[in-house]
Structure formats: structure tokens, C-alpha cells
DNA sequence: TAATTTAATAAACACTGTATATTTACACTG
DNA sequence: CAGTGTAAATATACAGTGTTTATTAAATTA
């Protein structure tokens, strides 16, 4: 018997393969992800996976894009937990959602921000729609603040000309993206990413009663540094 | 012929293996590091490497420790480019050295801060002496500032009790480590790490004439946030 | 009903890290 | 100087990996 009857086929196998991949990534980490191990768990043979993904890298890319979408969704929810105009609360909402997602799915975070799979090269263009979704909430709130004339900017410097093409990609994707908004958003993102990634690696002690004190101090300091009043 | 005569042996093979590993990491990235590829390049067989490293993970650990030492050395030099008492310049010196090292050796940076090798588990205790060397310059400067009563601290929260053991490890290694110094140093480190790691992955546009503007703004903002006058 | 497409398996290839046994150059001891 | 022991390499083998090719049989379409 080579091809099983429809009744014995796994329905929606493409999704099931991804779910199994996530399960294994959670267990053994992204770098040790194995197509054959996925196949074993699903009781199919490894080449069967090639009917759904042209190679292992394509599977990884699909996982990354799904992760970005979920990551972005959490941040949109975090932002909208406070109404328009509540700049500080909306910004904090994004930061907290960002951190919560990373702590809920540490392997997904490292899949996105590490280079975890041997030989895998990040297909920036393919992933861009999903990755821009995950940065959009931050961009949008900083832009809200700027339009309300509440954005504090010290020492802004414009973008280098050589980098304009990549910058253009962002701008078209966002509709528009003011350079100052971009500048401040990058400062904020880097601070949140820095503390979250060090936390995930166990490099940061758990300050405060619930272990969140350092992160909250980071967020609070950004609010007073970048938002007027 | 099984064992070559002394004249044909590669002298200092342990070091040569590490150098070859670094060369290959620079070419194909840390996750794709291969003992057999190293052996091929050195014209020996793969099991010969086991005379110098018990397994692949031990080689990786040795590489990480060497990287940490070099990383720390650069930061010590950066700190000491300004004399004692010049708090802002010493802090900036560390930040710039941190970034320069990361841009000079991006793969080493990702080897340290990523989880790049399949199945590799970071041996925290073994690596600790080397990794603490790399954070010591920052700790020392923040402590200098605190002792000079120029350290600005808002919203400090003490370390959680459960985390005391790890904290104790740091404290004994450093001689002593004031909690407030630890708190502020972690905030600073996370901001520098965040921006540097996003830069290395190509997520940050190159602001300013030379592309350093965002990083310098980050450093400048830390100086005015944490140092009095 | 016949032809075609599709979804799987089977087998094989070139890799990988690593364990075991073997060989031989070198160092030490009587 | 002879003999022994150790050290540093090779040879071989095993289980695992991603991937390619050929084959089979179920499902779909003409």
C-alpha cells in the first residue's frame, strides 16, 4: 500500500506539520528541528512533507511568518487596551504585550530574532508583510504622539541616503512613515527588544516582587523621555 | 601510516582547530559549523579532533569563552580611554567599544547571545568567569558613578529572593555588587544590546551621516538619564 | 470507463557527530 | 640499548540528517 485511502489521510496536513514543528521546537529548540522527527511523530515518511513544503527552509519561513502574525496581533491588542489619545497607556500596552508574547513563546521569539537553523537564510522580502505587521503598532502609536505634538525629540538625525531603498520599503508598507517617528520607534524597539532578549536568555535577575520591575522601569523611562507632559 | 612523525604534525593543533572553526563560522555561520569540515580543511580526520575536545559542544564552549575574553578586553580599553572621574566619557567608551566589537565580529556576537548550535546547551557555570569579564567594565563604571554620588536612580526595586543565588554568583565574582549598580547596569546593558543586535540583523536603518546616529543618541540619552550634572 | 493527476512510500545519496578498534611514533624505564 | 607504555593519529562503522528519484495506488477528471 503506497497511498492511503482518503479516510486514513491526515486532514489539513500542511497545518498539522507546522503544529508538530512548533511542538518540537518548544521541546528541543529551533536549531534541532528535524523533518524526519516531524514525520516520525505523524507516522508518515519524511519525503511526504515535500508535498507541502519544497524544503526545510520553506517550512521554517512559514513558521516565522505565522509567528510574526501572532506577535503583531498581541501588540495590536495591547495598544488598543487603552483608547486613542491615552498615549502613555497605549505605548505601555504595546510594550507589555511584546514582552508577554516573548515569554509565552520564547522559542518563537528566538526563531524570529536569532539565526537558529543551520544554513537557513532569512528571506527578507517574503517575510516582510508579516514582520511589518509586528512593528506597525509601535509605529502607529509614535505617529499618534507626533501628530498630537507631544513627541519629544532630541538629537534627531535623518536617514543615510544609501539606506533609502530599505526605508522606502517601510514607508510604502505603512502608507507613510515620518523620519522622526521612525527614529524614535527604533530607539523604543531596541530598548524593549534588548531587555526581553536578555531576560529570555537568563541574563537578567528578576527585580521587584514579581520580577517585572526592570522591564517596567524601562518602559516608564521611555514614557517620560519621549512623551510631553 | 597511522600516526604521523612529529615533523608532519600540526603544532599547537588545539589552537589551530579553534582558528579554523572561527574562519568557518565567519563563512557559513555558527549553526553550520562542522567538525568534519574543520578536519577536511586541516587535512586530518574528524575523530582526531576528539584528542583535543571531548565533543563538538566542548569546542563551541571554548570558542564562546575566547570570544567573551576578547569582548571584555575591548570594553576595558574603551573604558580606560578616559581617566577616572570622567564618568560620561568612560561610559560612552564602553558603549562604543561594545558596538565596535560586535560589528567587527558579528558571528561571535551571535554565538554568545544566540542559541545557534543544534543541541548545544550553554554551560553557564563553565562560561561564567569569561562572561563576567565582559560585563565587569560596565559594572565598574556604574559603581564609580554611584560612589561619587552622581548616579540618578528612579524606581529602583530590589532583587527577588528566589533569584538571590544567581545574584550571589555575580556578587562574589565582582568582590561586591551594589543592587542599585546592578539595576542601572542592566538597564544600560539591555539598551546597548538591543540596538546592537538589531543593527547586526539589519533591522535598523543607518541614521545620520555615518550611520551611527541612532546608537549615539541611545548612549547620549543614557548619560543624561543616569549621571548627575 | 480510461486517462491523468495526486499523495504517499521505498530506496538511495551525501552529509553529520561520534564510538570503537587499530596502528605506529614517541617517551620513559630497566 | 631493549622493552614497555602512552599518545596521536587513522580506519571503520553506526545512527542520524535533508533531499532526490522512482514507484505505486488512490482520487479526480475527460
Q: Please tell me the predicted confidence (pLDDT) of residue A162.
A: 80
Please tell me the predicted confidence (pLDDT) of residue B77: 98
Q: What is the pLDDT of residue A4?
A: 64
Grid coordinates representing B86 are 570622567
Checking if the pLDDT of B11 tops 90, the result is no
**Is 90 exceeded by the pLDDT of residue B180?**
yes
- Give the percent of chain B with pLDDT over 70: 97
Is residue A39 over pLDDT 60?
yes
Residue with the bigger pLDDT between B31 and A66: it is A66
- Nearest nt to B56, CA vs C1'? C17
Beta-bridged to residue B207, according to DSSP, are A159
Q: Are B211 and A186 an interchain contact pair (Cβ–Cβ within 8 Å)?
A: no
Q: Residue A156: pLDDT band by 50, 70, 90 thresholds? A: confident
pLDDT tens, A68-107? 999 999 999 999 999 999 999 999 999 999 999 999 999 9
**Does residue A128 register a pLDDT over 70?**
yes
> Which bases of chain D are under 7 A from a protein CB atom?
7-12, 16-28
User: pLDDT over 90 for what percent of chain A?
Assistant: 73
pLDDT in tens, B145-174: 999 999 999 888 888 887 777 777 777 777
Contact indicator for A28, B118 with CB cutoff of 8 Å: no
- A79/chain B closest Cα distance in angstroms: 22
Q: What is the phi-psi region of residue A55: left when phi exceeds 0, alpha when psi lies from -120 to 50, beta otherwise?
A: beta
DSSP string, B151-217: B---S--PBPGGGHHHHHHHHHHTS---HHHHHHHHHHHHHHHHHHHHHHTT-S--BSSSS-HHHHH
Of A10 and B39, the structure prediction assigns the larger pLDDT to B39
Q: Which pLDDT belongs to residue A38?
A: 98
CB-based contact, B204 to chain A, within 8 Å? yes
Average pLDDT, chain A: 92
Residues of B in contact with A155 (CB under 8 A): 213, 216-217, 220
- pLDDT at residue B3 in the model: 62
Name the least confident of A38-47, A150-159, A214-223, B80-89: A150-159
Q: Please judge whether B116 and A115 are an interchain contact, meaning their C-beta atoms are less than 8 angstroms apart.
A: yes
How far does the CA of residue B122 sit from the closest CA of chain A (Å)?
10
d(CA B17, CA B31): 17
Q: Which domains does chain B have, with CATH numbers?
A: 1-53 (1.10.10.60), 64-226 (1.10.357.10)
Best residue of A36, A182, A217 to probe chain B, by most B CBs closer than 10 Å: A217
pLDDT over threshold 90, residue A224: yes
A190 vs B201: CB contact, 8 Å cut-off? no
SS3 of A151, please? Answer: strand
Instruction: Grade residue A174 by pLDDT with cuts at 50, 70 and 90.
Output: confident
Half-sphere exposure of A126 (CA within 13 A, CB side): 13
Nearest to B142 by CA among B73, B210, B222, B204: B222
Q: Are A115 and A145 in contact (CB under 8 A)?
A: no
Tell whether the model's pLDDT for residue A1 goes beyond 70: no
Q: What is the mean pLDDT of chain B?
A: 92
**pLDDT for the residue B119:** 82
Give the closest nucleotide to A3 (alpha carbon vs C1'): C8
Q: What is the pLDDT of residue A194?
A: 98
pLDDT score for B78? 98
Closest in B114, B187, B213 to A115, CB measured: B114
Q: What is the rounded average pLDDT of the residues B171-187?
A: 88
B19 CA to D9 C1' in angstroms comes to 20
pLDDT of residue A175: 78
Interface of A with B in 144-163 (CB under 8 A): 154-160, 162-163
Q: What is the mean pLDDT of residues B86-107?
A: 97
Lowest pLDDT segment from A2-6, A52-56, A63-67, A124-128: A2-6
pLDDT of residue A6: 56
* CA–CA gap between residue B195 and residue B116 (Å, rounded): 20
Top pLDDT among B57 and B161 is at B57
- Residues on chain B touching A194 (C-beta within 8 angstroms): 189-195, 197
A81 shares contact with chain B (CB less than 8 Å): no
pLDDT average, residue stretch A181-190: 96
Question: Using a CB-CB distance cutoff of 8 angstroms, which residues of chain B are in contact with residue A204?
Answer: 186, 190
The verdict on a CB contact (< 8 Å) between B120 and A167 is no
- Cβ pair A118:B32 closer than 8 A: yes
For residue A206, the distance in angstroms to the closest alpha carbon of chain B comes to 6
- Per-residue pLDDT at B4: 67
C-beta contacts of A179-183 below 8 A and 24+ residues apart: A180/A146, A180/A151, A180/A153, A180/A156, A181/A139, A181/A142, A181/A143, A181/A146, A181/A151, A182/A139, A182/B205, A183/A153, A183/A156, A183/A157, A183/B207, A183/B214, A183/B217
pLDDT tens digit sequence for A15-32:
999 999 999 999 998 989
What residues of A are in contact with residue B204 (Cβ under 8 Å)? Answer: 186, 190
Higher confidence at residue B8 or residue A223? A223
Amino acid at each position: 500500500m503506497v497511498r492511503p485511502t482518503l479516510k486514513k489521510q491526515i486532514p489539513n496536513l500542511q497545518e498539522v506539520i507546522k503544529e508538530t514543528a512548533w511542538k518540537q521546537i518548544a521541546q528541543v529548540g529551533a536549531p534541532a528541528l528535524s523533518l524526519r522527527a516531524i514525520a516520525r511523530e505523524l507516522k508518515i515518511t519524511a519525503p511526504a512533507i515535500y508535498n507541502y513544503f519544497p524544503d526545510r527552509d520553506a517550512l521554517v519561513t512559514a513558521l516565522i511568518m505565522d509567528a510574526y502574525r501572532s506577535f503583531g496581533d498581541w501588540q495590536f491588542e495591547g495598544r488598543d487596551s487603552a483608547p486613542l489619545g491615552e498615549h502613555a497607556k497605549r505605548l505601555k500596552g504595546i510594550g507589555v504585550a511584546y514582552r508577554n508574547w516573548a515569554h509565552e513563546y520564547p522559542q518563537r521569539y528566538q526563531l524570529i530574532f536569532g539565526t537558529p537553523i543551520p544554513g537557513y537564510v532569512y528571506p527578507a522580502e517574503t517575510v516582510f508583510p508579516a514582520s511589518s505587521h509586528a512593528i506597525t503598532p509601535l509605529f502607529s502609536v509614535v505617529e499618534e504622539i507626533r501628530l498630537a505634538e507631544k513627541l519629544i525629540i532630541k538629537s534627531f538625525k535623518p536617514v543615510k541616503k544609501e539606506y533609502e531603498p530599505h526605508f522606502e520599503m517601510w514607508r510604502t508598507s505603512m502608507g507613510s512613515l515620518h523620519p522622526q517617528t521612525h527614529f524614535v520607534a527604533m530607539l523604543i524597539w531596541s530598548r524593549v527588544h534588548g531587555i526581553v532578549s536578555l531576560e529570555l536568555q537568563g541574563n537578567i535577575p528578576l527585580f521587584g516582587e514579581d520580577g517585572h520591575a526592570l522591564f517596567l522601569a524601562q518602559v516608564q523611562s521611555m514614557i517620560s523621555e519621549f512623551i510631553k507632559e
